[in-house]
Amino acid sequence: MEEGKKLIVECGATKTTWCVAGPDGEERRIYTGGINLSTMGGETIDATISEAAGTLACKADEVHFYAAGLIMGDGGKMPPSVKGVDDALRRLMGAGNIEYASDLTAAARALFGHGSGIAVILGTGSNSGFYDGKGIVRSVRSAGFILGDEGSGACLGKLFMADFLKGLMPEEVSREFALTFSVDYSTVVANVYHGSSPSGYLGSFAPWIMERYGKDGYVTRLVERNIKDFMERVLLQYDIDRYEVGVSGGYAAANRDVFERIGAGYGIRFSSFLDDPMDGLVEYHSGKK
């Protein structure tokens, strides 16, 4: 990699964005499958990095690696989950100086730069934290798609799927869903309990569900329940009277009007919605934000 170029890696549960950014503003981006250090095995992560390295075919002097499930230890000590990633980046990309940070830090930097605010991720999963312009100084635990992730696409899919399997939704909705996705009990159980990306699987149904928002009473109530749970159980724990909320994630960005309308009822002020945080990260690491 030529001098002055940086590799920025932003990992989500379903998609990883790799961006090589040069000092002249030149960029190259590629996309691979998602990386979650808390749920994925080393072989899967190594294969994803190998794919990116083969496509980019470059050496990286400076790397900024953001990932879901990445929690640095005390004093910035590298957690065991990162060691395999670190070995792969150095071996496959010749990376030298590598910064590791969470996907929430990525969202905060992309949304606020060096300013402060409440940073939120609402995509396949959800997360949030108060960002003081330097780092995340307070966070309400996400707890993952089984115990938390309220407001996310995966949580919406989980609520919907639970009703589907138990026969608790209108027959018309259930029939249309089954025909569209060819799902049955054994298929769902296999993907949720034994699949490589359970949250990604559940989140994949969110667009279909959202297409029926406002048209079907059952779907509308389910969607609003999911969003209200996030606002009541998570966002209201922050100082929403003083700080605006910035949101990163394709699911929320695609449904911005719904989140803003429901949020207004709680006094929540949204500053921005980003479909993809990479644009903001490039600006941040180039000193423009």
Angle at which helix 256-264 crosses helix 217-233, to 10 degrees, equals 60
- Mean pLDDT calculated for residue range 73-92: 68
Domain ranges within the chain, ordered by starting residue: 6-108+278-285, 146-225
Residues 131, 262, 268, 256: what is their CA dihedral angle, to the nearest 10 degrees?
Answer: 50
Tell whether domain 6-108+278-285 is in CATH 3.30.420.40: yes
Task: Provide the pLDDT for residue 131.
Answer: 95
Q: Mean of the per-residue pLDDT values for the chain? A: 86
Task: Provide the pLDDT for residue 199.
Answer: 84
pLDDT level of residue 80 (50, 70, 90 thresholds): low
Check whether 1 has a pLDDT greater than 50: no
Task: Provide the pLDDT for residue 244.
Answer: 95
The one-letter code for the residue type at 236 is L
Residues 139, 140, 142, 147: what is their CA dihedral angle, to the nearest 10 degrees?
Answer: 160
- Mean pLDDT calculated for residue range 238-252: 93
Task: Provide the pLDDT for residue 245.
Answer: 96
Q: Percent of the chain, pLDDT > 70?
A: 90
pLDDT level of residue 209 (50, 70, 90 thresholds): very high
Which tens digits make up the pLDDT trace of 140-163? 888 677 777 889 999 999 999 999
Task: Provide the pLDDT for residue 143.
Answer: 67
Q: Percent of the chain, pLDDT > 90?
A: 47
- The CATH architecture annotation of domain 146-225 reads Orthogonal Bundle (1.10)
